[in-house]
Amino acid sequence: MASARFFPFLMISLLFLSLPALAENYPLPGQDYNNIGVRGELILDVNVTLINLAPYPKFVVVNPFYDFQVYRMNNDEAMVGFRNETSGEIVHVLPQDLSKNTLNYRVGFWVYPYETVKVAFRITQEHHYTLSLKDYRDSCSGDAGIESQNYENGTLTGGRINVVEDLSQPICGVVYPQLLNYPLVVRFNEIMPSMDGYVKMLKYEGTIKMELTDVPDTQDDNSTLNREFPLFFAVSEPVIFYNATSYGYEPTYSMNFSEYMNFILGYRGLENPAPSGADIPQRKDSGLFKLTNRLISGPTMPELPETPTIKKYPLDFRIWVVYMGEGVNSFEIKYSVRWDNYAG
């Protein structure tokens, strides 16, 4: 009886061992990522208050790139969009009563005589609006680095490293946190005066989010259970609303752009850095790089002498210095904006 039970088990084991290995090649960094495997997505939600000073109704045309929601009556005037994963196009959903939100084959909403109305403009996660992030650059011509990995049954078996055949460049550089983006300046409060003298923007307020994601280092798996290729870079706030107040940054930014430029010179040993105030304590898993004079291991390095002044720039936006690695494969920046100074 013992041999009768063993025989089926033996057959199943042999069948399993005879299955061909599942091999796959996984190119890096992948679609929508820059050349070090970072992707940025923007999420925006801004509530705008408008008033129509005319004795007749006005139809405000909305760029279909934005979702919108009109807050009045039954709150049934809205347009929602989402990106079709197959075609890549944005699919829109409008209310059944098109007379409220279309005119001349354009989408939007009516503002009635002397009416004050609040309208939400949104770019949601369903839009998958990808921010343009710059590629990492060093002194070697071309991208000298890991470009693909090979897997068999989920186990890393090899890969490919792109080589720059240049005998004169044995070293391509020393990594420093290069800035991957610059903010887009949106003049939200200047849109209406240039289009119509009766419809005026009284105020707006909202939230902005930028979600950074590290490319999955194994096929279809971006969990932090697997060891990540470490990344070191800097990013700025994605959008600046002109003349608006920005506040409530989460997490706290590392420094302003003027401080960043000065910090980079000091970090690279090209010029003594000015104080940046950037060594703000952070959670261990926050993804923010701790800008201190202590190495990951070993002795504390001597402080570099300070220079008394920092060069000022016309647009001194916020900068985050980010480290992604084991346990950290995403990073989110969130802040609020507010403007209510219309004097027209």
Return the DSSP state at 179: B
pLDDT of 214? 87
Q: Which residues share a beta bridge with 271?
A: none
pLDDT digits (tens, 9 = 90+) for 28-37: 776 788 888 8
pLDDT of 25? 67
Q: What is the distance between the alpha carbons of residues 217 and 225, in angstroms, rounded to a whole number? A: 11
Reference 267, options 210, 327, 228, 319; nearest CA is: 319
Specify the DSSP element, H or E, that contains 257: helix 257-267
What is the token pair recorded at 313? 């720039």
pLDDT of 62? 93
- In the chain, which residues have pLDDT < 50? 1-21, 224-225, 276-284, 293-302, 304-305, 307-308, 343-344
Are the C-beta atoms of 117 and 49 separated by less than 8 Å?
A: yes
- Cβ atoms within 10 Å of 42's Cβ, excluding its own: 18
Reference 232, options 285, 153, 289, 280; nearest CA is: 289
Reference 231, options 309, 133, 307, 88; nearest CA is: 133
Tokens 């494969």 -> residue: 329
pLDDT of 187? 87
Distance of CA 105 to the CA centre of its chain: 33
3-state secondary structure of 6: helix
The domain limits of the chain are: 21-166+173-339
pLDDT of 109? 95
Q: What is the distance between the alpha carbons of residues 66 and 46, in angstroms, rounded to a whole number? A: 11
Name the pTM for this structure.
0.77
pLDDT of 222? 53
End-to-end CA distance of the chain: 96
Are the C-beta atoms of 2 and 10 separated by less than 8 Å?
A: no
